[in-house]
């Protein structure tokens, strides 16, 4: 399921969330997050929330390539 969030304005706010379930079990919650570099320039980060941690999966794609990145993460 793809969830579109309200406009992200602060770090770690998400543009999109991909919710992957298997039956009644949540398997993955992957997000495309807003961030800023050291000079203040905005960029995106691909992240995943688990029951134990918030994972930074590195620089994110643009919003349109998010689902392709999610598919690649799930295939890995």
Per-residue pLDDT, averaged over 44-65, amounts to 90
Confidence of residue 19 (pLDDT cuts 50, 70, 90): very high
Query: Is 64 a residue whose pLDDT tops 80?
Result: no
pLDDT score recorded for residue 7:
87
Number of structural domains the chain divides into: 1
Quote the mean pLDDT of the chain: 90
Q: How far apart are CA 22 and CA 69, in angstroms?
A: 19
Q: How far apart are CA 46 and CA 31, in angstroms?
A: 6
Which are the contacts of 32, defined by CB distance < 8 A and separation ≥ 6? 14, 15, 16, 17, 44, 45, 46, 47, 60, 61, 63, 66, 69
Which are the contacts of 22, defined by CB distance < 8 A and separation ≥ 6? none
Per-residue pLDDT, averaged over 23-38, amounts to 92
pLDDT score recorded for residue 62:
78
| Domain extent for 35 | 2-75
């Amino acid at each position: 399921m793809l969830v579109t969030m309200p406009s992200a304005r602060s770090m770690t706010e998400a543009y999109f969330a991909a919710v992957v379930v298997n039956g009644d079990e949540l398997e993955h919650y992957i997000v495309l997050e807003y961030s800023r570099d050291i000079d203040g320039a905005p960029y995106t980060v691909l992240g995943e929330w688990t029951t134990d941690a918030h994972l930074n999966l590195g620089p994110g794609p643009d919003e349109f390539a998010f689902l392709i990145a999610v598919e690649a993460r799930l295939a890995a």
